[in-house]
Amino acid sequence: MFKIAMRTVAVVAVLAAGGVAAQAANPKVGGAAMYENKNIVENAVNSKDHTTLVAAVKAAGLVDTLSGKGPFTVFAPTNEAFEKLPKGTVETLLKPENKDKLTKILTCHVVAADAMSTAIAKMIKDDGGTHDVKTVGGCILKAKQSMGHITLTDENGGVAKVTIADVKQSNGVIHVIDHVLLPKS
Domain hosting residue 72, numbered range = 32-177
In a domain, 45, yes or no: yes
Residue in 167, 178, 179 with CA at minimum distance from that of residue 32: 167
- Express each pLDDT in 127-163 by its tens digit: 999 999 999 999 999 999 988 899 999 999 999 999 9
In a domain, 17, yes or no: no
Q: What is the per-residue pLDDT for 25?
A: 83
- Express each pLDDT in 101-112 by its tens digit: 999 999 999 999
The DSSP secondary structure of 80-145, one letter per residue, reads HHHHTSPTTHHHHHTSGGGHHHHHHHHHTTEESS---HHHHHHHHHHTTT-EEEE-TTS-EEEEEE
Contact 81, 49 (CB under 8 A): no
Contact 142, 130 (CB under 8 A): yes
Residue 3 reports pLDDT greater than 60: no
Please tell me whether residue 46 adopts helix, strand or coil conformation. Answer: coil
In a domain, 143, yes or no: yes
What total of structural domains would you count in the chain? Answer: 1
In a domain, 152, yes or no: yes
Residue in 64, 46, 74, 47 with CA at minimum distance from that of residue 172: 74
Q: Give the domain CATH number at 68.
A: 2.30.180.10
Residue 178 phi, psi (nearest 5): -105, 5
- Express each pLDDT in 10-62 by its tens digit: 333 333 333 333 446 888 898 888 999 999 999 999 999 999 999 999 999 99
In a domain, 14, yes or no: no
Q: Which amino acid, 53?
A: L
Q: What is the pTM of this model?
A: 0.85
Residue 89 reports pLDDT greater than 60: yes
In a domain, 69, yes or no: yes
Per DSSP, 157 falls in state: S
